Amino acid sequence: MDRGYIQKSHIRAVALLSVLLFLASIYFYNVDNLPVYRALRGVICFSFLFVLLFYKRNAVNWIVGAFLVLFGSSSIAGIWYETSVPANVSLILNLSAFMVLIGALSPKVSFKKLNIYFAVFCILLVLLNAYLLYNFVEMIRDFALGELHYFLVMIGSMCLVITGFLSLLYNHKFSSKVSLIFTLFIFVIIFAEVFRAIAYYNFAYENFSAYMSRALLLLGCSLLVHYELTEKKPAEVLGKTVDN
């Protein structure tokens, strides 16, 4: 399939899919059909994976595919989030999705040529994010469904911080359109997760937080599809080892 055609048509397909799934999500949220609303989060991940399979057939990067499958599966398990076992399974799958990204990003980053100012900026940003997430997780402690549930929430939050940090290093190393798209995807997904927690625990602006969480999820998945369908240098490809 011609790359120029793919670039134009996938943007239209992703935009249309995003609008339809966002409207469906808002509808089921407003009629208080939370099981379907939560299930749609998984449908979103699998729908965008289908888009990738349509355009790339069996050439989809396994890192991208694994993330979408695990992230989507965690959403399906999250339908029964008020019950301990499904909630823990959902968190484990969610954690596994980000561990896949961490494992893929780690070999791609290097501290050797890191500018001192950028290094300080990254460290301060990580510390700030870690502090904010720690305080946020502490707010959730009283809502935890047991020690294991709270532990998984804590570990998951740490993974969000690490993934964000590694994506900044990844973008700094390659400084390309592709690396910027992927970094934006990471931070959009992180904010989607934060807004999802705010909406679920009704800390503030419940409806707005739910809408933002779903909109950011759709934007993040769109960026991931765009990243996967954009031409890359061999060294930029996640999950692929390239000899220097």
Mean pLDDT confidence for 13-23: 92
Residue 71 has pLDDT above 80, yes or no: yes
How much of the chain is in helix, strand and coil states, percent to nearest 5?
A: 85, 0, 15
- Answer with the residue of higher pLDDT: 77 or 112: 77
Helix (H, G, I), strand (E, B) or coil at 64: helix
A 10 A CB-CB count for 76 gives: 19
Element (H, E) at 141: none
Token representation of residue 224: 């991931």
pLDDT above 70: residue 209: yes
- Region of poorest pLDDT, from 50-64, 84-98, 139-153, 219-233: 139-153
CA neighbours closer than 13 Å in the CB half-sphere of residue 1:
14
Q: Is a pLDDT exceeding 90 seen at residue 169?
A: no
Q: Which residue has the higher pLDDT, 115 or 102?
A: 102
188-191 long-range contacts, CB within 8 A, separation 24+: 188/216, 188/219, 188/220, 188/223, 189/216, 189/217, 189/220, 190/160, 190/163, 190/164, 191/216
**pLDDT > 50? residue 244:** no
Contacts 24+ apart (CB under 8 A), 236-243: 236/108, 236/174, 236/176, 236/178, 236/179, 237/61, 238/61, 238/63, 238/64, 238/104, 238/105, 238/108, 238/182, 239/61, 239/62, 239/63, 239/104, 241/107
Q: For residue range 180-200, what is the model confidence (pLDDT) as tens digits?
A: 999 999 999 998 988 888 888
The pLDDT value given to residue 64 = 92
Q: Is the pLDDT of residue 1 over 60?
A: no
Higher-pLDDT residue of 136 and 175 is: 175
Span 230-240, pLDDT tens digits: 888 888 888 77
Average pLDDT over residues 81-90: 86
Both tokens of residue 128?
Answer: 């700030």
The answer to whether the CB of 33 falls within 8 A of the CB of 41 is no
